[in-house]
């Protein structure tokens, strides 16, 4: 199959593209290689993908409409997996403009090409952050998401709405999936697991927000990739399908992808300590603007659609990340 994936130098996009390439698909990758975090890591991910002869690498910003048009014309994709975005809740407070351009304008350019090429299935990444101020747990796709708490969340919810309108007007099959705190090898340096591991190995303290009174539905990267691949074969072909995230008027669906087992931040830190073999020095901090105290995914729709539900234990996932980190940065075991 000919598949176009955006964000292939990023954490999730790299893993998705690698899985598809190993299965023998032709993958066209797009990534802007922004300096939001260490570009060396991004270039290394792309270099690994380039080892596959059926990988075509494009490095340009999603906002470049002409480059996007050229990539689609060359690829003629049968499936598009749109994973590229400006991520990060706290960074959206400091640099809001990058979220408007990358997430809104970039996604608009993808949607325009999907429309023009009549792509059979568009899959696009959203986030658990769209649930915002919702109090009802677990978060279900049928809940309203009208109160985002960060600009990042607001832009991702806006992309969901953009996609729904395109799906309705042009009858485009679109699946939007909401990720819940994805972690694992090759992860982003701005995420807690990466920062906690790096600081602890360097003998530095870690910042623990809301005094540790946080819970997250941590999702291991391999489980996420498996869910995406299974969902790729389940395009929403008509309006009003029975699952909770299905649109009543368009071939459009929203699906949560999470572990469905919230883990306290303190338990997560303990898992890191066990994997590292040394304690983390905690620097307790107040809640940061834009953060939420707890996330919890209802993944019954994912299971009903695919028969799959993420289940990797946090300790196993953290162990895998720490093993990768030690190998990549040449840090010997204690």
Active site residues: 152
The CA-atom distances, in angstroms, between 206 and each of 197, 273, 308 are 9, 12, 35
Name the burial class of residue 94, with classes exposed (0-12), middle (13-18) and buried (19+) by CB atoms within 10 angstroms of its CB.
Answer: exposed
CA distance 106 to 109: 5
CA distance 125 to 10: 13
CA distance 183 to 125: 15
Tokens of 1: 């199959």
Q: Strand pairing partners for 206?
A: 282
Q: Chain-centre distance of CA 92, in angstroms?
A: 16
């Amino acid at each position: 199959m000919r598949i176009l994936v955006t964000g292939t130098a990023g954490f999730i996009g790299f893993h998705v593209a690698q899985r598809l390439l190993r299965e023998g698909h032709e993958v066209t990758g797009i990534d802007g290689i922004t300096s939001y975090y260490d570009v060396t890591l991004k270039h290394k991910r792309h270099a690994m993908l380039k080892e596959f002869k059926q990988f075509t690498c494009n490095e340009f910003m999603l906002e470049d409409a002409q480059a996007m048009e050229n990539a689609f014309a060359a690829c003629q994709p049968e499936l598009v997996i749109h994973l590229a975005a400006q991520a990060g809740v706290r960074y959206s407070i400091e640099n809001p403009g990058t979220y408007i351009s990358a997430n809104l304008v970039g996604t608009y350019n993808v949607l325009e090409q999907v429309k023009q090429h009549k792509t059979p299935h568009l899959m696009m990444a959203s986030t658990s952050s769209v649930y915002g101020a919702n109090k009802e747990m677990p978060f279900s796709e049928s809940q309203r998401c009208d109160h985002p708490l960060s600009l990042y969340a607001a832009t991702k919810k806006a992309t969901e709405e953009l996609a729904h309108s395109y799906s309705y007007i042009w009858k485009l099959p679109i699946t939007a999936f909401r990720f819940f705190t994805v972690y694992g090898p090759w992860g982003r340096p701005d995420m807690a697991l990466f920062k906690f591991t790096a600081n602890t190995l360097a003998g530095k303290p870690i910042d623990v927000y809301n005094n540790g009174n946080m819970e997250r539905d941590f999702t291991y990267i391999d489980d996420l990739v498996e869910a995406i691949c299974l969902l790729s074969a389940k395009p929403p072909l008509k309006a009003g399908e029975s699952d909770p995230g299905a649109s009543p008027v368009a071939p459009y669906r929203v699906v949560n992808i999470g572990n469905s087992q919230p883990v306290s931040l303190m338990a997560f830190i303990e898992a890191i300590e066990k994997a590292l073999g040394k304690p983390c020095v905690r620097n307790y901090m107040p809640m940061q603007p834009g953060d939420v105290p707890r996330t919890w995914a209802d993944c019954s729709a994912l299971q009903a659609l695919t028969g799959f539900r993420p289940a990797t234990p946090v300790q196993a996932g953290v162990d895998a990340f720490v093993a990768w980190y030690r190998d990549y940065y040449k840090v010997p075991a204690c």
